[in-house]
Amino acid sequence: MSRLTYVEALVAGIRDEMRRDPDVFFMGQDVGPMGGAMGGAMGLYQEFGPRRVRDTPISESAMVGAAVGAALVGKRPIVEISFGEFLPTCMNQIVLQAANLHYMTAGVASVPLVLRTRIGDGPYRGHPQCYEAWFAHVPGLRVVMPSTPQDAKGMMVAAIRDPNPVLFFEHMFLYHAVRDDVPEGDYTTPLDRAFVRREGRDVTVAATGWMVHRALSVAEGLAGEGIEVEVVDLAALAPLDRATLTESVKKTARLVVAHEAWKVGGFGAEVASEVAETCFYDLDAPIVRVGAPQAPVPVSKPLRDLFLPNEGDVLAAVRRVLAA
């Protein structure tokens, strides 16, 4: 075990796989000597050199296209889009190429690539957009969002080994904010599992990213009142671990879904629908979703703080489902 931050764990995952498999290479903007945005590629260039750690022009569509093509000829590219805000610039390559290739070639072709990107409100407030729901909508993509250092590494390793295109969403707030024990050797975290982070019998909070930590903190607070909150970390959005989710709801009979992305059409809508479809009669209260309001994410800190869902919103939602 070593104590690693979330970002150190991500880099450790990439490094270990690059050591293990010569077909793995990494490309992105400023990922070379500079060490990547927010230190997200620190030390990789120094260890692996310019053939395997490649600085790219500001050409996102070509970068993802290049990853798709390299994957088609048997390489294992990791391509970094510095921030999730720029995903629209390479949408065609992700949605039309990467996602379709395996199915449309009758299962002959496969695209083992990892597209990593940074999302969410972070220390420097730039590029906070959370577009993960768009990709969970598209068949043929895996979409993951680890919330702990241990999973950051384990899911990165699993994503690199996986034969599919994996969209890997890294939360910027978590980058340096959480530090945890991370196993040193070879291990993977499954890419299709949700994790019960805290058990409870009164209400389930299903959350992603930073919201998992906020839900845990709300759960801690409510424990003092004798309320037991079960926190489910939806670390994999696509495919979603529907069994863990519904099992939890069947136990607690109450559900809150929380994410930082916009509430309307957000991934929480899929989670709520799944539960409504499969365990409606187990519910004792209407489902409550927590997400951002229906406006672009404002930049100024006071506005951002008013805008984004926070611990208070999670707490209020939990109280609402308990009161119903």
Partner 1 sequence: MGSFYGLREDDVIAAHYRGPFIAYYMRGADLSRLVGQALGKATGYAQGRALGFTGPVERHILPWVAGDLGTSLGVAVGAALGLQYEGSERVAVVTFGDGTSNRGDFHEAVNLAAVWKLPVVFVCQHNQYSISLHASQVLAGGSVAARAAGYGIPGLAVDGNDVLAVQGAVGAAVGRARGGEGPSLIEALTYRLGGHWAADPGGYRREAELQEWRARDPIPRLEGALRAAGEVDQGAVERLWEGARAEVAAAVSAAQAAPEPDVAALGLDEALAR
Residues marked as catalytic:
127
Q: Smallest distance, Å, CB 171 to ligand TPP? A: 18
Q: Decide: 85 and 127 in contact? Cβ < 8 Å.
A: yes
Give which of ligand TPP, partner 1, none residue 224 binds (C-beta under 5 to 8 Å, depending on kind): none
Q: Smallest distance, Å, CB 88 to ligand TPP? A: 9
Is residue 29 close enough to count as binding ligand TPP by CB under 6 A? yes
From edge to edge, which strands make up the β-sheet containing 236-238?
Answer: 53-55, 24-28, 76-81, 114-119, 166-171, 142-144, 236-238
Positions touching partner 1 (CB under 8 A) are: 29-30, 32-34, 55-62, 83, 85-86, 88-89, 126-127, 293-296, 298-303, 306-307
Cis bond upstream, residue 239 (ω within 30): yes
Q: Smallest distance, Å, CB 129 to partner 1? A: 9
Sole binder of ligand TPP in the list 8, 16, 17, 60 (CB under 6 A): 60
Query: Measured between alpha carbons, how far is 252 from 202 in angstroms, rounded to an integer?
Result: 5
Cβ-Cβ contacts under 8 Å for 262 (sequence gap 6 or more): 130, 291, 292, 293, 294
Give which of ligand TPP, partner 1, none residue 8 binds (C-beta under 5 to 8 Å, depending on kind): none
The residue range among 42-50, 81-89, 162-170, 221-229 that interacts with ligand TPP, by the rule CB under 6 A, is: 81-89
Is residue 56 close enough to count as binding ligand TPP by CB under 6 A? no
Is residue 86 close enough to count as binding ligand TPP by CB under 6 A? yes
Q: Decide: 143 and 238 in contact? Cβ < 8 Å.
A: yes
Residue 196's nearest CA partner among 147, 135, 259 is 147
